[in-house]
Chain A
Amino acid sequence: MTQNNTVADSFTDSRTNVALRVREHILRMSTNGGAFTGASLSCADIIVWLYTSFLRIRPESVNDAERDILLLSKGHDVPALYATFVECGFLDKGRLSHHLSAKDHIYWHPNQNISGVEFHSGSLGHLLSVGIGMAIDKKLRSLPGRVVVILGDGELNEGSIWEAFLTASALGIDNLIVIVDRNWFQANVRTEDLIPLEPLTTKFEAFGWTAHVVDGHDFDDMDNVLGSWRLIERTPQVFIANTIRGFGVPSIANRADRWFCNFSDSEVEDLIQELHGLSLATLTSDTLSVR
């Protein structure tokens, strides 16, 4: 690998500023058809941290055999990924304005027509097993790369996830890292009100994984907890990243009805003001929209 490091080496701006701009991009994608705004805002900091501070991948090394691989299994949060791609040089900023247009490939779920996307998703519960396959391939080739899979906490309702958790530990896939975006919501309701997941750490440990808890909005904590990941032989590791759905924008945060949002253009401008700590937005759009 020519550049066996992260994009951070060529970075001058702070991760906080990057994350702020990522949230602006997410809000600007939440109009003219809308986006999964709440879900994207919850994992924005995790994705920014991964690309600036952890993943050994750069725009020029997206096909390098020695790269790390990131998979978004909860694919509807893809605005956070594309926004991070823009900020890290993987994607031209102008293409975000093609959101939901047939002239580009920037739609509600990730797809490999976008350089840097490793595998498409959309239906929940798929990419943990796909990630196991990719991690096995790296082990067969004795490659150093790691496979990171981001799962939603609502996604943990899917049986295929638990099947794959069992198989990964049985096969000793130690170059596999799972991050759970633990925003405590699934599409329309709080996770604990529907299919309670707690105690989640205990569950993962019972499945043979080493489990960690991290603040998914705190870069320093991610540095300390995720950043100190070291390979534990034959043991996959999971990081439960506590997050808030809609984090950074109070009018969206922690609301069951703001998972998918389709705001007017003026509301988006107001929400960006809100993001920067200025006046709260006044929202009149009907945002209770389930996809």
Chain B
Amino acid sequence: MNPYEELLLNLVEHDERYVVLTAENRGHMRTVPPKLGNRFIDVGIAEQTMIGVAAGLASQGRIVITHALAAFLTLRPFEFIRDDVGIPNLPVILVGMVPGVLSDANGPTHQAVDDVAIMRGIPNMGVFCPSDIDDFIIGMKVITRLQQPYYVRYIASPSVVEHRPTFVPGESEVVIGGEGGSFDVTILTYGYLLRECVEATHYLEKQGLRVRLVNMRTLDPVDTSMMVRAANDSHLVVTVEDHFATGGLRTILAETLLDAQATCASFHVNIGDRWFTPARLPEVLDVERLSAKHLSQRILSVLETAHVEH
């Protein structure tokens, strides 16, 4: 069993409220279904039905963890999520597989690059975008006990950093650079691209820059205080995300600074207003200029051309 299967089994074994559903997506749980017994239900390739069933179960006191590819999970049953899970604020966890760049060569139909925007638009819905398997497991242990709906970008990639073991929705973690002081650059990111940002940060530090790297963890609720602090103590704030330019971290930063009546020099790395080029993941990162090498060069270029003081 992988760590996620172990988590699911542990939840189901120790608390009769937990039920695991899938819309015939079992790529990340090949072993555990028989062990979950009658609290594992595969509804077939029927995402609307899965969300409706989840809402019905949750309305009777269950906590339901649902699974499908992130693009299908968020889009096909969107109205079921909004109406049947969101309106009554039911504890249904939506775990979306291969989000963002992780859909690599599948093509635009499979690209969940608008998922943060539409999920955080639903009242009551939380959004958790872990950066690796450790981050995911740490957060899931908390989220599955919150008694509210949550959308989670699944990720099984091994960790490249040590995560803070405490997880609080709306609290980011500083991965590099520390909380206080002043910085040339603060990089805000989430999900798979954290690893690229770690490597890019190391490179920028070697160039003599003071860099802070922040893993946002949850985007709804979001760590607004960290965003405002970054705007105040950093010469440049950079957002890095595998998401459309609209509705994700770039938009959240803009909203946050507007609400706080704050401003800063900023630079935004994202997919833009189009789908990314389908290819194997390393090539996606290269052609979409999301790799560590591209990120560090793009940030250096902004620092130079924008004459940002540092």
Contacts and interface: CB of A to CB of B under 8 A. Distances in A.
B88 A164 contact: no
Nearest to B92: A133
Interface residues of A, number: 29
Instruction: Say which size band chain B's interface belongs to.
Output: 20 to 34
Interface string B35-64: 000110101101011111111111111100
Interface string B15-36: 0000100000000000000000
A166 B52 contact: no
Contacts of A119: 55-56, 59, 84, 88
Contacts of A166: 44, 46
Contacts of A138: 60
Interface SS majority for chain B? helix
A119 B60 CA distance: 11
B7 interface: no
B62 A137 contact: yes
Interface in A161-184: 163-164, 166-167, 170-171
Contact of B52 (A120, A140, A164): A164
Contacts of B87: 120
Interface in A68-125: 112, 118-120, 122-123, 125
B84 A167 contact: no
Contacts of B57: 133-134, 136-137
Contact of A133 (B44, B48, B52, B79): B52
A171 B42 CA distance: 9
B286 interface: no
B83 interface: yes
Contacts of A280: none
A134 to B, nearest CB: 4
A129 B39 contact: no
Given A134-B59, A137-B62, A129 B52 contact: yes
A129 B52 CA distance: 5
B43 A171 contact: yes
Interface of A: 112, 118-120, 122-123, 125-138, 140, 159-160, 163-164, 166-167, 170-171
6 contacts: A120-B88, A125-B48, A126-B52, A133-B59, A140-B38, A167-B49
